[in-house]
Structure 1
């Protein structure tokens, strides 16, 4: 990371890199699940692994990314099945996760101290602290990755190691390599 970036840039770029890494690791673990278990109602808020991954696509990529990148406020249901095909859904999630780092790096430092103005899915105007709302996006993804990891465990599958500190340790080790 460039030393000319603000502490906010540095923090959120790290979050974005972790988000890409964790998304890839989660989807790799999910790929080992049968189609039947992948779509089975395992008691998650969005019922199945598939439903929860679709929710991540809706919430993170189609709603929040549009709000942060374009100032748009799409009207979508949080439980909408945007992508029924699990392979294409995984690719959409990976591609969407990869978009955040560049977007974050493009903002001026003062943007992080501002507000994010948008409309809720019911059309109600909102104005929330920009940096805190961006933190919500990454926290939300972590929450649902945890749910999916628990579902994998309940299905008898190994859960991936997704701790952020583990990712930071890997990045530090990579930085020390010649």
Structure 2
């Protein structure tokens, strides 16, 4: 399996799905966007902030810089919803170049880091990177469930829809 091609596809999907989700969320009134709808991070806003914390400020820093920041997972890094969306997309669009820069021998190694609880972790590199994209998919799914509960249309976010879209002639 070509891991660079596989993870580049996941990174493209992450950008595509994040953009589609943000477009769907953009139509929500602010009260609905910030309402506690029973998600783990309470609101759509809280869940999007969690994605910014996890994907960009924790995992990207671990993979790019080899550093471990300790940021509570429910931290509101961005109160402004438009800026939050911009920052999420900026972070998502960084992944393809990160993946392209990974040395071939790195894929079979480990990612060593310090968890948010302050404990050392050493995990297989490639599956841990897969976790980052899986984690984002998980929380996007929670947000689509919240959109449905709020009576809103949800975008199709399955990977195969992106792949089908990419095959259509321009």
| Coarse TM-score class (shorter-chain normalised) | over 0.9
**Which residue does 1:3 correspond to in 2?**
none
**Which residue does 2:147 correspond to in 1?**
152
**Which residue does 1:26 correspond to in 2?**
21
**Is the CA contact 1:24–1:94 (under 8 Å) kept in the aligned structure 2?**
yes
Task: Find the aligned partners of 1:79 and 1:161 in 2 and give their Cα distance.
Answer: 27
For the aligned residue pairs, the C-alpha RMSD in angstroms reads 0.9
SS in 1 for 2:37: coil
Note if 1:12 corresponds to 2:37.
Answer: no
Alpha-carbon distance, 1:171 to partner = 1.5
**Which residue does 1:162 correspond to in 2?**
157
Stretches of structure 1 that go unaligned for 5 or more consecutive residues are: 1-5
Give the TM-score of the pair, scaled to structure 1: 0.93
Q: 1:62 aligns with which of 54, 57, 65?
A: 57
Alpha-carbon distance, 1:173 to partner = 2.3
Stretches of structure 2 that go unaligned for 5 or more consecutive residues are: none
Task: Find the aligned partners of 1:173 and 1:118 in 2 and give their Cα distance.
Answer: 41
**Is the CA contact 1:26–1:145 (under 8 Å) kept in the aligned structure 2?**
yes
The ranges of structure 1 where at least 4 consecutive aligned residues each deviate by more than 3 angstroms after the TM superposition are none
After superposition, the C-alpha distances for 1:48-74 in whole angstroms (9 at most, x for unaligned) are 000000000000000000000000100
